[in-house]
Amino acid sequence: MTAPLLQTLFPNIDDWSELGRACIDTLLMLGGSLALTVLIGLPLGVLLYLTGRGQLRAMPKLYGIASLLVNVLRSVPFIILMIVLMPVTYALVGTKLGVRGAIPPLVIGAAPFFARLVETALREVQQGVIEAAQAMGASTWQIVRHVLLPEARAGLAAGITVTAIALVGYTAMGGAIGSGGLGDLAYRYGYLSYKSDYMLVTVVLLVVLVQLLQMFGDRIVARYKRH
Amino acid sequence: MIRFLDVHKSYRVDGREIPALHPFRLDIVDGEVFGIIGHSGAGKSTLIRLINLLERPSGGRILIGDTEMTALDEPALRAQRRRIGMIFQHFNLLASQTVADNVAFPLRLAGERDAAKIHSRVGELLERVGLAEHAGKYPSQLSGGQKQRVGIARALANRPEILLCDEATSALDPQTTAAVLELLAAINRELKLTIVLITHEMDVVRRICDRVAVLDAGRIVEHGTVADVFLHPQHPTTRRFVNEALPEEAASAGAPLAEVRGRKLRLTFRGATTLSPVLSRVMRESGVDFNLLAGRIDHIKELPYGQLTLALEGANADAAVAALRDAGIEIEELP
């Protein structure tokens, strides 16, 4: 019953399992790259925060270098970054294609972006609370671990949400150079082969994904903000 | 004893050295409540932060007991800071943690891992500040006075020898201020810890301090026991602070004083003399008439005092003044 209806609505989509496969690929790319982005971006953001002017471990030179690196990586359009990084990707994961090949450029593209969001979120923490921790004899590491990160958790959760959504966009772009996933389908079938129903379905799926991420993120932020 | 030896502090602003505190010496005695009063920008928050080295002095030495704070390396300084509690104007509690976790925080920082020990110490501290039933709440659910009590409990967690109070009551209403000051005074009495507080309110000094230093534009312009400074202020800044604390007297001691006939005196009674009928006895015996121009009877911490402005009329005025002096009353002649 359902199959004929789907067939009339989307005449060009003959293999729905391929779409399912693409969905899973997108989710794998998103999950893998988001995890690594947070893993790399969080310490980088903390470094930016701590070494900034007037902060706990102010180091203007180190801050300048880290800041420049972040800005350079952020200013390269992602599609270019993917191409430029191909040799690096190959060296890291042994392939330039598929989910594995997509993750290194996704992480390198998103981690600096996330690091800036982390830096901004940490700056929102009241200076007085940090001073109180110092007065209690806290080390810099203890301040990061027990004051900055817990106090900034609402801002950090918002930053992860924004980054996840940006990554959805990046994964879709990755389709253009063979990384697989929904973007790949939209590009190959929808754009190159004029099968606009493919385009429609993938876009709807992406919209749903972004919507879910935003709702989930907002809920966590609201919970953290209550106190 | 907290000792400042030729300590000074300046800040670099746009390549120029701006002095915040001019070189000074100061001793704060164990177990006393020492107040530092000054207007904003006078340097008092820099001064209090020199004690736990949140601010490093530009020169000079700071000693707590036998420990030269200014000579310590980072880990040793952190260990010393655990022996100095601090509370703040804006409380500076961790918003993401419950009241109990805020109080437990310094214990955990000091390396305490035993949950049962932490739990019992936190219970004890919250009991002491009267917040036992609020342990599970978050700071956002508390009033200002309650937040400051959490701050006090947190500051006392590691059984410090010194408690620094950075404008601790400035964000509170008068009633809450009185309650928090009472709590601080009780803690000072019971735990015998030294309290150093900074404030811009003479009333705070009058209520709980033993000694006070008046800070004006980076210099200590006057210091001594609160009674001495409060009853006989020398420096114009000190007088202004005292007058702020006694607005009614300041108002009545203005222009009309010059028009009053007779010999004008300010009498200061301290302690027991405040409570005995010295004035009426002397006046009756000397046959001198007096005209009461202004006056106040109050307490400085636990010390009762009275300060009266009189005009004396009569032949025996000199004898009356001598008799009052003999009875232990401090007398200043007014123009």
pLDDT at A3: 64
Instruction: Please say whether the beta carbons of B33 and B195 come within 8 A.
Output: yes
Contacts of B147 (CB under 8 A, 6+ apart): B91, B93, B139
Rounded to whole angstroms, the Cα distance separating A6 from A32 reads 32
Better-scored residue on pLDDT, B148 or B254: B148
Phi-psi group of A143: left, alpha or beta (phi > 0 → left; psi -120 to 50 → alpha; rest → beta):
alpha
pLDDT at B254: 52
Instruction: Please say whether the beta carbons of B262 and B334 come within 8 A.
Output: no
Task: Write out pLDDT tens, residues A59-95.
Answer: 999 999 999 999 999 999 888 888 899 999 999 988 8
Which residues partner with B295 through β-bridges? B308
Rounded to whole angstroms, the Cα distance separating A2 from A4 reads 6
Whole-number percent of chain B with pLDDT over 90: 73
pLDDT at A14: 77
Asked whether residue A120 carries a pLDDT value surpassing 80, the answer given is yes
Q: Do A137 and B108 touch (CB under 8 A)?
A: no
Residue of B nearest to A141 (CA): B109
Provide the token pair at A125. Answer: 């923490």
Instruction: Please say whether the beta carbons of A22 and A184 come within 8 A.
Output: yes
Asked whether residue B125 carries a pLDDT value surpassing 80, the answer given is yes
Q: What is the mean pLDDT of residues B109-118?
A: 94
Q: Do A151 and B78 touch (CB under 8 A)?
A: no
Q: Which of A136, A146, A150 sits opposite B81 (nearest CB)?
A: A136
Q: How many CB atoms lie within 10 A of CB A73?
A: 16
- Which of the residue ranges A60-74, B156-170, B317-331 would you say has the lowest mean pLDDT? B317-331
Q: What is the mean pLDDT of residues B79-90?
A: 96
Asked whether residue B175 carries a pLDDT value surpassing 80, the answer given is yes
Q: Do B54 and A134 touch (CB under 8 A)?
A: yes
Which of A127-136 are b and which e, b meaning 16 or more Cβ less than 10 Å from the residue's Cβ?
eebbbbbbbb
Phi-psi group of B210: left, alpha or beta (phi > 0 → left; psi -120 to 50 → alpha; rest → beta):
alpha
Determine contact: B76 vs chain A, CB below 8 A: no
Rounded to whole angstroms, the Cα distance separating B227 from A176 reads 83
Whole-number percent of chain A with pLDDT over 70: 99
Substitution target from A53, A57, A136, A148 for chain B, most B beta carbons within 10 A: A136
Strand (E) or helix (H) holding B152:
helix B144-156
Rounded to whole angstroms, the Cα distance separating A165 from A174 reads 14
Angle between helices B99-109 and B144-156 (to 10 degrees): 20
Provide the token pair at B195. Answer: 């309290």
Report the complex ipTM.
Answer: 0.87
pLDDT at A16: 81
Q: Do B96 and A135 touch (CB under 8 A)?
A: no
Task: Write out pLDDT tens, residues B275-301.
Answer: 788 888 888 888 898 888 888 888 888
Strand-by-strand arrangement of the B263-270 sheet: B289-300, B303-313, B263-270, B330-333
Residue of B nearest to A136 (CA): B82
Give the SS3 label for residue A107: helix
Rounded to whole angstroms, the Cα distance separating A152 from A119 reads 10
The chain-wide mean pLDDT, for chain A, equals 91
Task: Write out pLDDT tens, residues B6-38.
Answer: 999 999 888 899 999 999 999 999 999 999 999
The CA distance from B189 to the nearest CA of chain A, in Å, is 23
Task: Write out pLDDT tens, residues A8-57.
Answer: 777 777 778 888 888 999 999 999 999 999 999 999 999 999 999 989 99
Contacts of B2 (CB under 8 A, 6+ apart): B26, B27, B28, B51, B62, B63, B64, B162, B194, B196
pLDDT at B168: 95
Return phi, psi of residue A160, to 5°: -65, -40
pLDDT at B244: 81
Provide the token pair at B80. Answer: 């010393």
Provide the token pair at A51. Answer: 């070494």
pLDDT at B256: 62
pLDDT at B206: 93
Interface of A with B in 139-158 (CB under 8 A): 139, 142, 146-147, 150-151, 153
Is residue A174 very low, low, confident or very high in pLDDT (cuts 50, 70, 90)? confident
pLDDT at A168: 93
Instruction: Please say whether the beta carbons of A58 and A66 come within 8 A.
Output: no
Residue of B nearest to A224 (CA): B96
Per DSSP, the residues of B174-203 read HHHHHHHHHHHHHHHHHH--EEEEEES-HH
The residue written with tokens 């005449």 in the block is A11
pLDDT at B293: 86
Tell me the domains of chain A and their CATH numbers: 16-226 (1.10.3720.10)
Which of A96-125 are b and which e, b meaning 16 or more Cβ less than 10 Å from the residue's Cβ?
bebbbbbbbbbbbbbbbbbbbbbbbbbeeb
pLDDT at A44: 97
Q: Which of B79, B92, B138 sits opposite A131 (nearest CB)?
A: B92
For the ranges A41-50, A193-202, B267-276, B326-335, the one whose mean pLDDT is highest:
A41-50
Determine contact: B233 vs chain A, CB below 8 A: no
The chain-wide mean pLDDT, for chain B, equals 92
Rounded to whole angstroms, the Cα distance separating A60 from B31 reads 43
Which of A26-35 are b and which e, b meaning 16 or more Cβ less than 10 Å from the residue's Cβ?
bbbbbebbbe
Residue type (1 letter), A135: A
Better-scored residue on pLDDT, B60 or B255: B60
Determine contact: A7 vs chain B, CB below 8 A: no
Task: Write out pLDDT tens, residues B207-226.
Answer: 999 999 999 999 999 999 99
Asked whether residue B260 carries a pLDDT value surpassing 80, the answer given is no
